[in-house]
Homo-oligomer: A and B are copies of this chain.
Amino acid sequence: MANEHPASGEDSLIARYFKPIATDPGAFGLTDDAAILKADGEDLVVTTDAVVEGVHFLSDDPPETLARKALRVNLSDLAAKGATPAGFVLTLALRTADDAWLSAFARGLGEDAGHYACPLLGGDTVSTPGPLTVSITAFGRVPQGKMVRRSGARPGDRVMVTGTIGDAALGLAILKGGAVAAALASDTAARDRLVGRYRLPEPRNALAAAIREHASAAMDVSDGLAGDLTKLCAASGVSAVIDAPRVPTSAAAADLLARGIVGAEALIAGGDDFEVLCAVPDAACAAFADAARQAGVALTSIGAVVAGAGPVRFLDARGRDMVLARLSYSHF
């Protein structure tokens, strides 16, 4: 008697949930050991970001938004580097293979893969006794030598940031209960908006070409504006002076700040913003702002790059240096 041909659980899981979203010809329908990424003379930009249950997301976060966030944090890196999305590979470490969960996860992932034209190319599904972990490596394309680095900021450049800062940290604070949740107990709409910003960042891929054209340096804000600006300045060998009241905030965040529920530090060191932080030469600011308007992305000038290797300064409404106990989130 010959052997049966049982499709393994892992293979049927991949075929069922992930093959439908692996639409790129280079993915070979997820039936091979590897994928093909074509380059055609462009540079390929590679970025990788993992999210861990209980660390980067909460156990009761919906699988659709978790999937989309895991992809979007990588898309955000590509946007900040001026790259056009080309595809991604996914490593999923799961405790159990739950149909309803996987179906929702794949649906969310597929929606964003389609929306951002960033197809699933391959991946690995493994079992873990530990927290659910989603690791994504994403690829983008830029013309040769045109990836926007952290290291190009020059004294005199404007410091600019997209969207609003601090909402995601407030959203997380709401999900954890405590003062912020209590302060917004009667404002469901504000709570939902802030939680939505935590669960579902808005990567600024619509602005990628303009960033490539106009920014001298860029990165996405993932660990907190203050800390990430510090990193950008260190890479560029410069410093910066930020006019803290100009840091863009949502109405809900501004209200919490005005009421003294949170301090400015909670916003500018909060993390999970996934906005683009960049340095833009003065002469390019108007054209960059035009491009942002056309892309429908809010863009705010918050300060200036200055010479020297000193610490980044955040000035309050009276021009005094703010003291920040922490700049960002660090894992260790």
**A254 at the B interface (CB under 8 A):** no
A32 to chain B: which residues have CB within 8 Å? 81, 149-151, 219, 235
- Shortest CB-to-CB span from A172 to chain B, Å, is 16
A311 to chain B: which residues have CB within 8 Å? 2-5
Complex Cα spacing A97 to B330, Å: 12
**A194 at the B interface (CB under 8 A):** no
Contacting chain B: which of A48-56, A162-170, A289-297? A48-56
Complex Cα spacing A44 to B128, Å: 30
Closest to A144 in B: B38
Cβ of B227 and Cβ of A122 under 8 Å apart?
no
**A318 at the B interface (CB under 8 A):** no
A310 to chain B: which residues have CB within 8 Å? 2
**A78 at the B interface (CB under 8 A):** yes
**A46 at the B interface (CB under 8 A):** yes
Cβ of B147 and Cβ of A36 under 8 Å apart?
yes
The answer to whether A130 and B127 touch (CB under 8 A), given A36-B43, A328-B8, is no
Cβ of B8 and Cβ of A33 under 8 Å apart?
no
- Shortest CB-to-CB span from A171 to chain B, Å, is 20
A227 to chain B: which residues have CB within 8 Å? 8
Complex Cα spacing A131 to B50, Å: 15
**A6 at the B interface (CB under 8 A):** yes
Scan residues 25-41 of chain A and give those whose CB is less than 8 A from a CB of chain B.
28, 31-41
Name A3's contact: one of B51, B324, B330 (CB within 8 Å).
Answer: B324
Cβ of B330 and Cβ of A11 under 8 Å apart?
yes
Cβ of B127 and Cβ of A128 under 8 Å apart?
no
A40 to chain B: which residues have CB within 8 Å? 39
- The contact string, 1 if C-beta is below 8 Å from chain B, for chain A 299-332, is 0000000000011111000000111100110111
Cβ of A33 and Cβ of B332 under 8 Å apart?
no
The answer to whether A36 and B44 touch (CB under 8 A), given A54-B129, A55-B128, is yes
**A13 at the B interface (CB under 8 A):** yes
In the complex, 14 of the A-B residue pairs with CB atoms within 8 angstroms, ordered by the A residue number, are A3-B323, A10-B332, A28-B149, A31-B235, A32-B151, A32-B235, A33-B220, A34-B45, A34-B47, A39-B41, A44-B44, A46-B122, A48-B137, A91-B91
List 20 other contacts, CB 8 Å, given A3-B314, A49-B124, A51-B126.
Answer: A1-B323, A10-B332, A33-B77, A35-B45, A38-B39, A39-B39, A39-B41, A39-B44, A41-B41, A46-B139, A52-B93, A55-B126, A55-B128, A89-B137, A91-B91, A124-B135, A130-B131, A130-B133, A135-B135, A137-B137
8 closest Cβ contacts across the A-B interface? A130-B130, A39-B39, A8-B330, A9-B332, A34-B47, A137-B137, A97-B332, A127-B331
Q: Which residues of A contact B (CB under 8 A)?
A: 1-6, 8-11, 13, 28, 31-52, 54-56, 77-78, 80-81, 83, 89-91, 93-94, 96-97, 121-131, 133, 135, 137, 139-140, 147, 149-151, 219-220, 223, 226-227, 230-231, 234-235, 310-314, 321-324, 327-328, 330-332
